[in-house]
Amino acid sequence: MEKAFSELNLCLESLNQFLSQKYDPLEHYEIIDLLQRIYELLAATGNNLIINISPSKIYCLHCYNEIPIKEIDSSIHLSCNPYHCFCSTHCFRRHALLCTDSKLIDLDYVRCPACLTSIDISHTCDAFDGNLPQIYEEYKKEQIATFKCLICLTNYEIEEGITLDCDHRCNQKLKCPLCPQPISSTPLNIKFL
């Protein structure tokens, strides 16, 4: 019991120091842990404490700008904590882009910067006005390996081509420029004049 009182005294001293200093925007989350520990120690010693905390200001988790109390309802709140929020859709989008290296492909990497809880994919999709499937398809198209056929000078996907013995590629659907006969896909049958 004496150990609990000793730790409680240390926690109360820390709380006093914390409240008497000016602190960084994200440090106010530490006070919640400290108050939780004080609550647990008081309960262990047979005492009760009811704590109601409401911050006087909240900071955007991306740009760290202060969100005035009257604008808190219009900010984007995360489900992990009611005080984890972004001041605007713009800040949330920028955060999602930073987390995914501007690709928005692996949305599991989009996490709350304060507690690292994964942000629900539907929340991210809503922030991009539901355009994530379109963004993903555009990215996939960019990632498909292509080659430029040196005969018809057109870009094709690798699967649409054949590789010759000399390691050059050409479109496997080529037709003879003089007649409608297709060129055989066997590399040995292709001859350049």
Tokens of 18: 């914390």
CA dist., res. 169 & res. 153, Å (int): 11
Give the per-residue pLDDT at 180.
60
CA dist., res. 137 & res. 146, Å (int): 16
Give the per-residue pLDDT at 45.
79
CA dist., res. 106 & res. 142, Å (int): 16
Give the per-residue pLDDT at 26.
44
Between CA 13 and CA 19, with CA 15 as vertex, the angle to 5 degrees is: 120
Reading the chain (193 residues) residue by residue, the pLDDT tens digits are 778 788 888 888 887 777 776 555 345 667 777 888 888 888 887 877 776 666 677 889 999 999 887 888 888 989 888 889 999 999 999 999 899 888 777 888 999 999 999 998 888 888 888 777 777 677 666 667 777 777 777 777 777 777 766 767 777 666 555 566 665 555 444 545 4
- CATH assignment of 146-189, among 3.30.40, 3.40.1440, 1.20.120, 2.40.10: 3.30.40
Q: Are 182 and 173 in contact (CB under 8 A)?
A: yes
Tokens of 83: 């005080």
Looking up tokens 């080529």 gives 174
Q: Are 71 and 96 in contact (CB under 8 A)?
A: no
Give the per-residue pLDDT at 96.
92
Q: Is 96 exposed, middle or buried (0-12, 13-18, 19+ CB in 10 A)?
A: buried
Tokens of 116: 């690292």
CA dist., res. 85 & res. 32, Å (int): 17
User: The whole model's pTM is what?
Assistant: 0.49
CA dist., res. 156 & res. 143, Å (int): 13
What are the residue ranges spanned by the domains of the chain? 2-44, 58-140, 146-189
Element (H, E) at 44: helix 28-44
